[in-house]
A and B are shown apart, each in its own frame.
Chain A
Amino acid sequence: MANTFKLSQESLGSLFAALRKDGRRILAPVAADGRVDLKEVEAPAQVAADYIQSVLSAKEVVFPKVERLLSYTTAPGKVDLKDAEPNAVPTVLFGVRPCEAKGFGALDAVFNWDYRDKFFNARIEKLAVIGVGCTKADESCFCTSVGGGPVDTAGSDILLTPIEGGYLVEVCTEKGAAIQALAPDLFKPGSGVDKAAIAAKVAPAFDQPALTAKLPGLFENGVWADQSLRCIGCGACAFVCPTCVCFDIQEEADPKKGERLRCWDSCGFHMFTLHASGHNPREVQGARWRQRVYHKFSYYPERYDRLGCVGCGKCTRACPVDMNLKEHLIEAAGVTA
């Protein structure tokens, strides 16, 4: 169980200073130009205080949009290969939502279930997450339908829940304890807070275990094709998703040197599964939309014993044609096979 404390709003600045003194950069949601994005900050005043979700997810911190896997130089009959290093910086991710914090576990499941991915691992090792629980939610949120909650500690090294004049602090992991140890005096004794009363109200939208159990039988159901009729295959849902991990590997090269890059990709793209022969196992958008749902709600549970969705609703907010994951899942859960 987490050790609980209280931290005053004023002492948060001292905690930031202590983290920076320890050589860590602090990334936090920052509101600018009408949107919230993760940026490096120095002081709590820079952090977006009253936001629901950032547009992009925090996965970029451990899984960049584009990263070099290797580089090389070539000459006739000769290739010099150079390994790439992830160049991981000690980082504290401050103020992300509990759903996002939980997303890192879903990424870890893929990056390390068998072969270990050193790029992801170098970054996650140097990352500590200080989540801030939600006191507000919107109609896209559905964390409570996928095993999470607005003040859930899973995935956070420290979870802060806003209370009068500061935060309730739950130190959840050894990484969290190491942060506390940087400025132990800031952490005052605290307990007896009714978290549930403070937390945003996110009503459960559908019965996820029942949905997961019925998905294999719904594979050929017309519901997926119907839902995907307006999907334009833009991939925005995958790019903003905290757990979407599918990637492409591309070459950038000139005749004498080059590098191999890993780039975000999406199962929503036609090219994703296109064979060299022209055959495409997922020929139509309905099949690709179904893959997105099944990967998160059927294949992930079967393979990794966890969901590939944290219910943050970023995909719904980003979708240019108003596809709505929560509503679509409610509909699927109600289909009689």
Chain B
Amino acid sequence: MSEKNIYLPYLMRIAEITEESPAVKTFRLEFIDEIAAQSFDFKTGQFGLYSAFGEGESTFCIASSPTRKGYIECTFREVGRVTAALADKEVGDIVGFRGPYGNVFPLEDWKGRNLVFIAGGIALPPLRSVIWNCLDLRDWFKDITVVYGARSVKDLVYKRELREWTERSDMKLVTTVDPGGETPDWRGEVGFIPPVVEGLGLRAENTVAIVCGPPIMIKLTLPVLEKLGFPPERIFTTLENRMKCGVGKCGRCNTGSSYVCKDGPVYTLAELNELPTEY
């Protein structure tokens, strides 16, 4: 009776490293094992545990879209021991990956609707996966709007993609930086995300809002969306509680009777309203 070891990661080779902003990097990771490369599949919204062998594991979303095959990407900020060890890695180095874990954004349910993505700071990576997934299925959806804000211009991540999204005619990108964070040539908005969202003239009718950011940004943006008429069932977010196992056992992400790693990380506001605010 030999069972599989659920804590054993895939080995991945770093194929590409992008410096996004100070202390924030994106890794493109490719499977070393051919069979794993062929069989691996995930859906947007899911996450994984990334190992720096010698230091341990950290939890990040899969920041790439499942429509882009053959690799996964993660974007992380260097804040602790494991992320510091990851940040030291170079192209060609080996890291570990366990996943995909957790639930998914219900794209099928969003067919025929307008989508509004609202992201703050380092919270664009989880939404970037969904945004690319939706752009790759462009005819499923009506208007697609992305609002992205960061503390300052240098803190914006995915600058290359932001330019690409600006140039696309089939979506609208609004970028903003906090007052004082702008540069002389900054052409986006200046201001915090909630008032920028409020000033967009968004219509809640037939629209899904997907929000991710630091707790304070979410806290102040949700009332704006509610005021605009978004029902809590059509506001989605993704939580990132501290995790160790990712598979509903270690107890760390337990919030109410929910495990963020299993029942989340994707929740609607209606679902969050049923949970204690321990996230």
Taking Cβ atoms with an 8 Å cutoff, the residues of A that contact B are: 69-70, 72, 74, 77-79, 81, 83-84, 110-111, 113-118, 121-122, 125, 219, 245-251, 253-255, 258, 260, 262, 265, 267, 272-277, 279, 281-282, 287, 291, 295, 298-299, 302-303
Q: Which of B1, B2, B93 contacts A77 (CB 8 A)?
A: B93
Q: Which residues of B have CB within 8 Å of A84?
A: 5
B201 within 8 A of A: no
By a CB distance below 8 angstroms, the chain B residues around A267 are: 251, 254
Partner of B8, one of A81, A277, A303: A81
Q: Are A279 and B3 in contact (CB under 8 A)?
A: no
Specify the chain B residue showing the minimal Cβ separation from A73. B53
Nearest CB of chain B from residue A261's CB, rounded to whole Å: 10
Q: Which of B63-101 contact A (CB under 8 A)?
A: 77, 79-80, 83, 92-94, 96
Q: B254 and A295: CB pair below 8 A?
A: yes
Are B244 and A274 in touch, CB under 8 angstroms? no
Contact A81 B11 (CB under 8 A): yes
Between A and B, 15 residue pairs with Cβ closer than 8 Å are: A81-B9, A110-B249, A110-B251, A115-B249, A116-B3, A121-B1, A121-B3, A122-B3, A219-B276, A246-B251, A251-B53, A258-B54, A260-B7, A276-B83, A302-B257
In the A-B complex, the 9 residue pairs with the smallest Cβ-Cβ separation, listed nearest first, are A246-B251, A118-B3, A251-B56, A115-B247, A299-B257, A281-B278, A302-B257, A69-B7, A253-B54
CA distance A227 to B224 in the complex (A): 38
Known: A81-B9, A114-B262, A287-B278. A281 touches B255 (CB 8 A): yes
A179 and B3 alpha carbons, distance in the complex (Å): 26
Residues from chain A with Cβ under 8 Å of B194 in the complex: none
Also in contact, A298 and B257, with CB within 8 A (given A246-B250, A273-B242, A276-B83): yes
Closest to A275 in B: B242
Q: How far is the CA of A110 from the CA of B261 in the complex (A)?
A: 14
Known contacts A245-B249, A277-B79, A277-B214; decide if A255 and B93 are in contact (CB<8 Å).
no
Q: Is the CB of A114 within 8 A of B254?
A: no
Q: Are A276 and B80 in contact (CB under 8 A)?
A: yes
Name the B residues within 8 Å of A272 (CB-CB): 242, 252
Chain A contacts for B241, CB-based, 8 A? 273, 275, 281
How long is the Cα–Cα vector from A281 to B11 in the complex, in angstroms? 32
A295 to B254, CA, bound (A): 9
Query: Hey, which chain B residues are within 8 Å of A251, CB to CB?
Result: 53-56
- B231 interface residue, CB < 8 Å from A? no
1/0 contact trace for B1-28 toward A, CB 8 Å? 1111111110100000000000000000
From A77, A249, A281, contact of B250 by CB (8 A): A249
Other-chain residue from A72, A81, A274 in contact with B242 (beta carbon distance below 8 A) = A274
Q: Choose from B2, B56, B254, B262 the contact partner of A299 (Cβ within 8 Å).
A: B254
Q: Are B251 and A72 in contact, CB atoms less than 8 angstroms apart?
A: no
- Residue on A nearest B122 in the bound complex, by CB: A277
Note all chain A residues with C-beta closer than 8 A to B256.
299
The answer to whether A70 touches B3 (Cβ under 8 A) is no
CB-nearest residue of chain B to A300:
B257
A125 to B2, CA, bound (A): 12
In the complex, the answer to whether B252 meets A246 with C-beta atoms within 8 Å is: yes
Q: Is B57 an interface residue (CB 8 A)?
A: yes
Closest A residue to B80 by beta carbon equals A276
Which chain A residues lie closer than 8 Å to B232 at the CB level?
none
Q: Convert B115-126 into 0s and 1s, putting 1 for each residue whose CB lies closer than 8 angstroms to a CB of A.
A: 000000000000
Whether the Cβ atoms of A250 and B7 lie closer than 8 Å is no
On whether the beta carbons of A249 and B242 are closer than 8 Å, the reply is no
Closest chain A residue to B245 by CB distance? A249
- Asked if A77 and B254 make an inter-chain contact with CB atoms under 8 angstroms apart, the answer reads no
CA distance A83 to B7 in the complex (A): 9
Is B195 among interface residues, defined by CB-CB distance under 8 A?
Answer: no
Which residues of chain B have C-beta atoms less than 8 A from A72's C-beta? Answer: 53
Chain A CB within 10 Å — which of B92, B214, B250 has the most? B250
CB of A229, distance to nearest CB on chain B (Å): 20
Chain A residue numbers with a CB within 8 Å of B248 are: 110, 113-115
> Binary interface profile of B, 252-279, with partner A (CB < 8 Å = 1, else 0)?
1011110000100000000000001111
